Amino acid sequence: MKGITTRLHAALVAIVLGLGIGLAAAPATAPEALAQAPAAPPAASEQMLFNYLQGDVRGRVTIPDQRAAMLIQPAGRDFQTFWRSTMKWIGGIAVGGMLVVLVIFYLVRGTIRISAGPSGRTIQRFNGVERFAHWLTASTFIVLGITGLNITFGRELLLPILGPDTFTAWSELGKVAHNFLSFPFTLGIALMLVIWIKDNLPSRVDAQWFAQGGGLIGSAHPPARKFNAGQKLIFWSVVLGGAAIAVTGYIMMFPFQFIATDMAGMQLAIQLHGIISLVLIAIILAHIYIGSLGMEGAFAAMGSGRVDLNWAKEHHSLWVDEMMSGGRDAAAPSGARSAGAD
Amino acid sequence: MARMKFLCDADRCIECNACVTACKNEHEVPWGINRRRVVTINDGKPGERSISMACMHCTDAPCAAVCPVDCFYTTADGVVLHSKDLCIGCGYCFYACPFGAPQYPRLGNFGSRGKMDKCTYCAGGPEADNTAAEYAKYGSNRLAQGKLPLCAEMCSTKALLAGDGDIIAQIYAERVTTRGYGSGAWGWRTAYKDMVAG
């Protein structure tokens, strides 16, 4: 702040000096110029100020609202450009692109079946607490995602269909939902972090998973523990991305109160919130696909919490070994072992 | 049609705040909301300047561009107005506005900020001209009565000019030529992407 004031002072001195030099010649020419068309004034100092300050012009106000002391913030125009085009391009490519990729993937690969077929025997994969954390995050994320996309793309996509009054009513409702559901969403993120972080630390098995394309390309079934490398990526995207979205979101809900206490900080928070959310939405679309339509037997993991033993052996072989050796669900294997060996 | 603009001659403004008071009184602007304010740059130092600032009614207005519900519109006079019935109080226009014009009844976005309020160039809102409904939401509509904004009309030093952009720019250019100095049309480059006569 002090630097800006000093520079402002220096700029004004420079302007006054510059005008002073111009003044020496002015009296002789001014009346003549006035008689003709209005002559161009000396180089406008606002331009010089901008060039010199490279940023906001601030001063003093006598009203209580001290944020009003910011006279001009040209960065508002950059925010306009970001909001109107940059963000829409990023969102369109991330979300739209992911949808296109998923459709193509489905057409090429179809639903990934259990190679050995369902065994008919199930194994506990996620307990009640795990599923609660997942669905708490998932259900709120869907509402947050839709209402958030509405703020970004609703004006182009929904407003022409709904009309101004209905669209405003829907958007206002969406805004309230977006604000309040942020709390359970944040809780869900925190729960998942605590429950699953021990299973999501990188390991050597992950390299092998990546090397074999995760089994998405080709029909290989790389070994994996409770979570394979792809799921670990989802986990960290959700936890880290979700945390970033939560922090920037709360900054927006309580503007100028913490972390971002100035205009530049607020603009940055909104931009980060938008970009990270759009990328996370794209990632989650892929997650939803592979957890439902894309893979036979996958949904049960988060549905009933129990997965088919053959599915588990194909996708999480090391985890199944751990579970069996640990004695949990120990009654199941005797019959399933031979059936699964085909 | 005229393209209405504001121009504050910083070399004439004496920071009397009459424009601020006139605006608040004319439109019965609520506590905590200032549609117009006077900012003093370099206060108490050589080269001090005061500038009266409100909504500049920008060309390609940033507020209108970022509004998620498209509640802004530009009149034939180039005045940027908005509908409080459509505003959802998201606050984005405040972040986009180069001049800090949008104001809200409450600060936080949690719960709600309430409907955005800003300078209307004394031109009301989407309701029928000079109706009670229009007055309650946006204040008086002087433009519809053939009058210019009150802030500029009652400026004692005629520092604040309002009217057709070409005409007030010409007045300002004449002043600068006559007196030999001028600190420029504050905000014009950002608002209209042009300067007064270069």
Asked if residue B196 has pLDDT above 70, the reply is no
Domain A75-339 has CATH 1.20.950.20: yes
Q: What percent of chain B has pLDDT over 70?
A: 96
> Mean pLDDT over all residues of chain A?
83
* B177 with A34: Cβ contact below 8 A: yes
Tell me the mean pLDDT in the region B91-110: 89
Residue A267 has its nearest CB partner, among B53, B68, B95, at B95
Weakest mean pLDDT among A10-24, A45-59, A268-282, B4-18: A10-24
> Mean pLDDT over all residues of chain B?
91
Instruction: Please tell me the distance in Å from A22's CA to the nearest CA on chain B.
Output: 8
* A61 with B172: Cβ contact below 8 A: no
Residue B40 has its nearest CB partner, among A59, A73, A155, at A59
**Domain spans in chain B, listed from the N-terminal domain onward:** 4-191
Residue scoring higher pLDDT (A33 or B69): B69
Per-residue model confidence (pLDDT) at position A9: 45
pLDDT confidence bin for B197, thresholds 50/70/90: very low
* A30 with B34: Cβ contact below 8 A: no
Nearest to A170 by CA among A148, A153, A147: A147
* B173 with A70: Cβ contact below 8 A: no
pLDDT confidence bin for A34, thresholds 50/70/90: very low
pLDDT confidence bin for A153, thresholds 50/70/90: very high
* B190 with A72: Cβ contact below 8 A: yes
* A46 with B188: Cβ contact below 8 A: yes
Q: What percent of chain A has pLDDT over 90?
A: 59
Asked if residue A3 has pLDDT above 50, the reply is no
Asked if residue A128 has pLDDT above 60, the reply is yes
Asked if residue A10 has pLDDT above 70, the reply is no
pLDDT in tens, A164-198: 999 999 999 999 999 999 999 999 999 999 999 99
| Mutation target vs B (from A6, A8, A71; most B CBs, 10 A cutoff) | A71
| Mutation target vs B (from A66, A168, A178, A254; most B CBs, 10 A cutoff) | A168
Asked if residue A14 has pLDDT above 70, the reply is no
Instruction: Please tell me the distance in Å from A15's CA to the nearest CA on chain B.
Output: 8
Instruction: Please tell me the distance in Å from B51's CA to the nearest CA on chain A.
Output: 8
Tell me the mean pLDDT in the region A155-163: 95
Asked if residue A336 has pLDDT above 80, the reply is no
pLDDT in tens, B159-174: 999 999 999 999 999 9
- DSSP state letter for A126: S
* B184 with A26: Cβ contact below 8 A: no
Cα gap B73→A257, rounded to integer Å = 31
Per-residue model confidence (pLDDT) at position B46: 83
Tell me the mean pLDDT in the region A292-310: 93
Q: Which residues of B touch A5 (CB under 8 A)?
A: 42
* B177 with A151: Cβ contact below 8 A: no
pLDDT confidence bin for A50, thresholds 50/70/90: low
Instruction: Please tell me the distance in Å from A136's CA to the nearest CA on chain B.
Output: 21
Rounded to two decimals, the ipTM of the complex is 0.90
Asked if residue A108 has pLDDT above 50, the reply is yes
* A47 with B195: Cβ contact below 8 A: yes
Tell me the mean pLDDT in the region A67-74: 89
Per-residue model confidence (pLDDT) at position A167: 97
Residue A42 has its nearest CB partner, among B39, B66, B181, at B181
- Helix, strand, coil % (nearest 5) of chain B? 25, 15, 60
**Domain spans in chain A, listed from the N-terminal domain onward:** 2-72, 75-339
Tracing tokens 């809200």 back to the chain, one arrives at B104
Task: Give the bridge partners for A123, in sequence order.
Answer: A307
Asked if residue B41 has pLDDT above 50, the reply is yes
Asked if residue A291 has pLDDT above 70, the reply is yes
Weakest mean pLDDT among A154-163, A272-281, A309-318, B188-197: B188-197
* B95 with A15: Cβ contact below 8 A: no
Per-residue model confidence (pLDDT) at position A33: 35
Asked if residue B194 has pLDDT above 70, the reply is no
Instruction: Please tell me the distance in Å from B2's CA to the nearest CA on chain A.
Output: 20
* B37 with A73: Cβ contact below 8 A: no
Contacts across the A-B interface (CB distance below 8 Å): 213
Q: Which residues of B touch A42 (CB under 8 A)?
A: 176, 180-182
Per-residue model confidence (pLDDT) at position A327: 56
pLDDT confidence bin for A45, thresholds 50/70/90: low
Tell me the mean pLDDT in the region B3-24: 95
Per-residue model confidence (pLDDT) at position B154: 94
Task: Give the bridge partners for A72, in sequence order.
Answer: A57
Indicate the fold that domain B4-191 takes in CATH.
Alpha-Beta Plaits (3.30.70)
Nearest to B37 by CA among B68, B16, B59: B16
Cα gap A313→A317, rounded to integer Å = 4
Asked if residue B153 has pLDDT above 60, the reply is yes
DSSP chain B: ---EEEEE-TTT-----HHHHHHHHHHTPPTT--SSEEEEETTTSTT-EEEEE-----TT-HHHHH-TT--EEE-TTS-EEE-TTT-----HHHHH-TT---B-SSS-SSS---S-B---TTB--SSSTT-HHHHHHH--BTGGGT---HHHHT-TTS-EEEEEHHHHHHHHHHHHHHHS-----TTHHHHHS--TT-
**B19 in helix, strand or coil?**
helix
Per-residue model confidence (pLDDT) at position B6: 95
Asked if residue A29 has pLDDT above 50, the reply is no
Tell me the mean pLDDT in the region A261-282: 95
